[in-house]
Amino acid sequence: MNKNNYTHRFPQYLSKPIQVLWFETDELILFVFTLTLALIYGKIMWLVFLVTQYFYTRTKRLKARGFLKHILYMFGFIQMKKYPEYFQREFHE
């Protein structure tokens, strides 16, 4: 009998990203979004779907973790709490 009565299994890797099949979360979101557009609009959107998946996955492998979040921040689509504005040149704590 197990002396420890833990109900949850401790994760093997604390910083391991969530994956669905072979996609990480950001890749899955991009995949579903572009697939939906391709199914709705057809023709050229299938090419956009394939090219987007290929180049995003390839680019992501060369960049640091959190690449998509920082790109969205750079273009002004999301705000990061307690961070300076993207175009701010100097930051004093």
pLDDT tens, position by position, 32-63 = 888 898 899 888 888 888 888 888 888 888 88
As a whole number of angstroms, the distance between CA 22 and CA 44 comes to 25
pTM for the full predicted model: 0.56
In this structure, how many other beta carbons lie within 10 angstroms of the beta carbon of residue 28? 15
Q: Give the closest residue to 37 by CA, choosing from 49, 26, 50, 28.
A: 49
pLDDT band at 17 (very low <50, low <70, confident <90, very high): low
